[in-house]
Amino acid sequence: MVDTTTTNVSNYIAEMGIKITKIAQETDISDGILRRSLAAKERDLRADELMRICSFLGKNPFDFWPGSKAG
């Protein structure tokens, strides 16, 4: 089970219809790592991964923090 922030990012990406492959290409994070974190929910996102994903999404990392509007 992954942390709430990773779950919130995963849910947002799914709701927006963004492909993991596109995120991998744009963030230079391994497709396999992203799939384990966002699709299979087997691992938490690391801080640097979260920052790169948020930069790609144009979001603030705190948007996905537990207790935030998205969290």
Digit-coded pLDDT (tens) for 34-62: 999 999 989 999 999 999 999 999 999 99
- Specify whether the CB–CB gap between 71 and 65 falls below 8 A: yes
With 90 as the cut, is the pLDDT of residue 67 above it? Answer: no
With 60 as the cut, is the pLDDT of residue 70 above it? Answer: no
Convert the pLDDT of each residue in 8-44 to its tens digit: 999 999 999 999 999 999 999 999 999 999 999 899 9
Instruction: Look at residue 16 in the predicted model and tell me its pLDDT.
Output: 97
pLDDT-based confidence at 1, cuts 50/70/90? confident
Q: Helix 4-16 crosses helix 47-57 at what angle (to 10 degrees)?
A: 30
